[in-house]
């Protein structure tokens, strides 16, 4: 329901499992003799409300949850894997060369005013992410234009463009207590397309904690479009 059928051409073995079929997922892993697993890709948060039918194993996980937010849901699945003897590894275990680096990753750098927007946006985004609501804030002239909820990064960028027009800065952070096993911040070609559509020039992401999908091509396209991609450090300040 989420993954591309083209994945079957890229792997030695594939099992198609519905979002509600945790039991079937566990059976496939155990049958292969797996003791470790990695989560990759994205499940859109709004799928929570789109009629997923949980099997008995997932119903047991849901019954233990106080909240049905991202951390609770995927964390519950990670715990279920652990109870079956399967350790969930970091999502970036094999992707360290695709992580954001500190500072400018493009030829263009943010201006003094854009750095102020980044610093302001990071403070707002960390508060938002700390409540597991969203990880992206779009800022213009030190005003928060749009905050991410379940719609995802690309849609919040487009909404900001409609509200404030060109010149916004997009700030995406990891959660203050980011579990690197799942829901790691990701940007890709779709992010750049949304920025071009909205007239946003700056994208700031947490260095060392954000995946750049097809990093080399991503940064080449950003350079071609005159965009700024900036890796924020822990002490990013105005």
| Strand spans (E) along the chain | 36-37, 87-88, 103-104, 136-140, 143-147, 169-172, 186-187, 202-206, 211-212, 228-232
Cα separation, 113 vs 51, whole angstroms: 45
Per-residue confidence (pLDDT) for residue 238, from 0 to 100: 43
Q: Is the pLDDT of residue 136 over 70?
A: yes
Cα separation, 138 vs 65, whole angstroms: 31
Q: Is the pLDDT of residue 32 over 50?
A: yes
**pTM for this structure?**
0.86
Cα separation, 205 vs 124, whole angstroms: 13
Per-residue confidence (pLDDT) for residue 72, from 0 to 100: 75
By DSSP bridging, strand 169-172 and strand 202-206 are parallel
Q: Coil, strand, or helix at residue 104? A: strand
Q: Which of 25-34, 130-139, 191-200 has the highest mean pLDDT?
A: 191-200
| Per-chain mean pLDDT for the chain | 91
Write the pLDDT tens digit of every residue in 39-69.
988 766 666 656 678 888 888 887 877 666 6
Write the pLDDT tens digit of every residue in 94-111.
999 999 999 999 999 999
Per-residue confidence (pLDDT) for residue 133, from 0 to 100: 87
Per-residue confidence (pLDDT) for residue 68, from 0 to 100: 64
**Residue with more model confidence, 113 or 152:** 113
B/e letters for 135-152, b = 16+ CB within 10 Å, e = fewer, are: bbbbbbeeebbbbbeebb
Per-residue confidence (pLDDT) for residue 47, from 0 to 100: 62
Overall average pLDDT of the 3-14 stretch: 92
* Angle, vertex CA 238, rays to CA 169 and CA 173, nearest 5: 50
Whether the Cβ atoms of residue 209 and residue 187 lie closer than 8 Å to each other: no
Per-residue confidence (pLDDT) for residue 18, from 0 to 100: 85
Write the pLDDT tens digit of every residue in 172-223.
999 998 889 988 999 999 999 999 999 999 999 999 999 999 999 999 999 9
Instruction: State the pLDDT confidence band at 76, using cuts at 50, 70 and 90.
Output: confident
DSSP state of 97: G
Per-residue confidence (pLDDT) for residue 48, from 0 to 100: 61
**Residue with more model confidence, 65 or 228:** 228
Overall average pLDDT of the 24-44 stretch: 89
Overall average pLDDT of the 86-98 stretch: 94
**Residue with more model confidence, 228 or 53:** 228
């Amino acid at each position: 329901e989420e993954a591309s059928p083209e994945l079957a051409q890229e792997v030695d073995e594939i099992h198609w499992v519905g979002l509600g079929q945790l039991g079937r997922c566990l059976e496939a892993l155990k049958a292969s003799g797996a003791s470790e697993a990695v989560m990759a890709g994205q499940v859109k948060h709004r799928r929570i409300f789109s009629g997923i039918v949980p099997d008995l194993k997932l119903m047991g996980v849901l019954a233990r949850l106080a909240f049905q937010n991202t951390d609770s849901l995927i964390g519950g699945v990670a715990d279920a894997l652990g109870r079956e003897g399967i350790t969930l590894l970091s999502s970036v275990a094999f992707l360290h060369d695709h992580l954001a680096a500190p500072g400018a990753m493009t030829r263009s750098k943010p201006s003094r005013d854009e750095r102020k927007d980044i610093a302001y946006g990071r403070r707002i985004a960390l508060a938002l992410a700390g409540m597991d609501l969203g990880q992206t804030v779009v800022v213009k002239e030190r005003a928060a234009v749009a905050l991410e909820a379940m719609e995802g990064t690309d849609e919040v960028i487009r909404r900001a463009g409609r509200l404030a027009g060109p010149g916004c800065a997009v700030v995406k952070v990891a959660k203050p207590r980011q579990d690197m096993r799942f829901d790691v911040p990701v940007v890709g070609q779709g992010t750049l397309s949304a920025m071009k559509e909205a007239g946003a020039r700056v994208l700031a992401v947490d260095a060392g904690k954000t995946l750049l999908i097809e990093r080399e091509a991503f940064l080449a396209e950003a350079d071609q479009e005159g965009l700024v991609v900036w890796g924020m450090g822990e002490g990013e300040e105005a």
